[in-house]
Amino acid sequence: MQKKYLEAGEIVSTHGVQGEVKILPWADGPEFLLQFDTFYLDGRPYAVRSARVHKTCVLASLEGIDTPEQGMSLRGKRVCIDRDEAKLPEGSVFIADLIGCRALDEDGAELGRIEDVLTMPSSDVYVIAGEKRYMVPAVREFVREIRVDEGYVRLHLIEGMAIDEN
């Protein structure tokens, strides 16, 4: 079952004297967060008055947060978004939806389940736990099919992807 609200970043500090918060995004880029009119912190909605990219972060002015002290009270809070408001590029999926999916080889044999997705500079890496552990780069060469609605990902494995746990 897909979660309605997804973690999309963390408030790391404030900016300026009007209570803007600085958000470290957990997305492909900070621009992703600019599409939302509402952020959710601890389940409470905060209307986004304005938001802009600043280096690798997002500076956001939130309804009801008007002073640096109010902004600092939100430091460390996780910023959630409503999945129904998100516009993803064609072929993209949320990492949260991949966690727990069955990982299958090209013949349909189950390798295990995706337990984590590591965000690396060149590509994401799927961490699969089963009888063996695997680390598979999330690139077209190795990811043959993603069907989160059906709960599986089909992969092409090569030598060296299995992690020797001894």
Lowest mean pLDDT among 2-6, 40-44, 109-113, 137-141: 2-6
pTM for the whole structure: 0.80
Q: Are 58 and 52 in contact (CB under 8 A)?
A: yes
Identify the band that residue 145 occupies on the pLDDT scale cut at 50, 70 and 90: very high
**Over the chain, what is the mean pLDDT?**
94
What integer pLDDT is reported at residue 28 of this predicted model? Answer: 82
What is the mean predicted confidence (pLDDT) over 98-125?
Answer: 94
Distances (CA, A) of 73 to 34, 46, 47, 101: 22, 14, 17, 36
Residue 165 tokens read as: 């746990």
pLDDT at 165 over 70: no
